[in-house]
Structure 1
Amino acid sequence: MRHFARLAAAIAVISATAGAAQAELIRCPLEQARRTITDPLPRGWWTTPIVNRLSDTRVQNIGGKPALLCIYGAAGSIQREAPRGQSCRAVSGGFDCRAAAPRARTAATGRLDIPQTYQFDLDRGAVTRSGADFWFQAETASLLYLVPQNGARIGVGDRSNRGAAGCATARYTGNRVSLRDLPVGSYICARTNEGRISQFRINGLSGGSPKTLSIGFMTWR
């Protein structure tokens, strides 16, 4: 019995070590940054540099790839590409990067044109009158909303293309969201009423009244 207890403890230590090896903390290389004019100046002229401490960290899509940004207020920012094969999130002073999860399988994908007052289902990719994930509510001709239905939830975030991994860790709410806050080109995360992770893009909103909302979506298993 004592032998098995020692073996279990050893396995636990190995597992913990392996998990820790998959995580990497990348810190911003500067505590403060200096920004100034470097052009030669005539005699009698000088410049006052701007010096700021690290004010924020952010993971942002640049050129189609995730980049790690260290921001120093008015002094500017520095950035680098995220490590290949890792998913990173911004933390105080740097970034917590971990081995990316396996690629998610697609359950449904496509485009939908949703007339106002109709609902749409992201599990199956359908426009319907009931039983779906979201309702395109028209409170008035100008007050338009997306309203989660039947337990579905919405995660607006920064409206960037976060994909399956990003949407899996997004913050969700069951509250309705005004389309005024979702301009064309916005990517929105969703958790469907069947528990799947989904993302849709606002492709367009027709003029006149009644309106039609056009989206492109992808839902993962």
Structure 2
Amino acid sequence: MISLRKTAAIATFATLMLGPLAAAAATIACPHTQIRREVTTALPSGWWNTPIVNSLKSTRVQNIGGKPALICDYGPAGTIQRYAPEGQSCTARGRGFTCASAGPRTHSTGPLDIPQTYLADLDRGQVTQHGADIWFQAETASRLYLVPRNGAKLGVGNRRNRGYAGCSGARYSNARVSLGDIPVGSYVCVRTNEGRISQFRVNGLTGGSPKTLKLGYTTWQ
């Protein structure tokens, strides 16, 4: 049996990982059920070629020139191919291919514990003094802030889970944010100092002093 506490933790991290809904998949069929292969070079008098005609045998996705290509294989008659649509991921299905928007790629993700007065890099998921995006500032024991650093910006918005699409269109500011304005359960968008879109969830704040801010974050490519 899984404890309620563990179940809640799993749900919390899973909620953070929710992104924009994938676009509806589209089907690309091989253009012919049969193809014919023959010699087209002119032959001397008295010579001839017997064409080879074969039905579609299989389909596959193969890297050609650094790009994914859709391959229709007709056995001895040969193959025909085309590149996958730009920005889409395709899978061979029967006599064709299913293609859908590849969506944003995750650059880094996971839990992040930031001790009071420390800084964190959301591009790499590290507590660090170099290349940081946010600083856990403590003016007093009760006046606590998250401060964007090195050109990073925060987008608090409605504090809901907006995912990549929502954070891409968020309004950002370089002003610090009081932790009182982003209680546990809040989601905050970030534009990192390397220009990536990121989002974190405030998972907790330890008691006592000094405190530790517990986040769950995802940064996209």
Please state which band the TM-score falls in when normalised by the shorter chain.
Answer: 0.5 to 0.7
Alpha-carbon deviation of 1:173? 0.1
Q: Which segments of structure 1 move beyond 6 Å, counting only runs of 4 or more?
A: none
Alpha-carbon deviation of 1:101? 7.1
- Counterparts of 1:57-136 in structure 2 under 5 Å? 85=23, 102-136=102-136
Secondary structure, aligned partner of 1:167: helix
Unaligned runs of 5+ in 1: 1-63, 65-82, 87-99
Alpha-carbon deviation of 1:128? 1.2
Q: Deviations over 1:66-112 (max 9, x none)?
A: xxxxxxxxxxxxxxxxx9849xxxxxxxxxxxxx9751000000111
* In structure 1, distance between residues paired with 2:169 and 2:175: 18
The structure with the larger Rg is 2
Backbone CA RMSD of aligned residues? 2.0
Higher relative contact order (CA closer than 8 Å, sequence separation 6+): 2
* In structure 2, distance between residues paired with 1:187 and 1:146: 13
- Counterparts of 1:1-221 in structure 2 under 5 Å? 85=23, 102-221=102-221
Under a length normalisation based on structure 2, what TM-score does the superposition of the two structures give?
0.55
Alpha-carbon deviation of 1:188? 0.5
Secondary structure, aligned partner of 1:164: helix
Unaligned runs of 5+ in 2: 1-14, 16-20, 25-99
* In structure 1, distance between residues paired with 2:157 and 2:101: 21
- 1:96 corresponds to: none
Q: Which moved more, 1:138-147 or 1:126-135?
A: 126-135
Under a length normalisation based on structure 1, what TM-score does the superposition of the two structures give?
0.55
* Percent of pairs with identical residues: 68
Does structure 1 conserve the Cα–Cα contact (< 8 Å) formed by 2:108 and 2:125?
A: yes
Q: Deviations over 1:176-200 (max 9, x none)?
A: 0000000101011000000000000
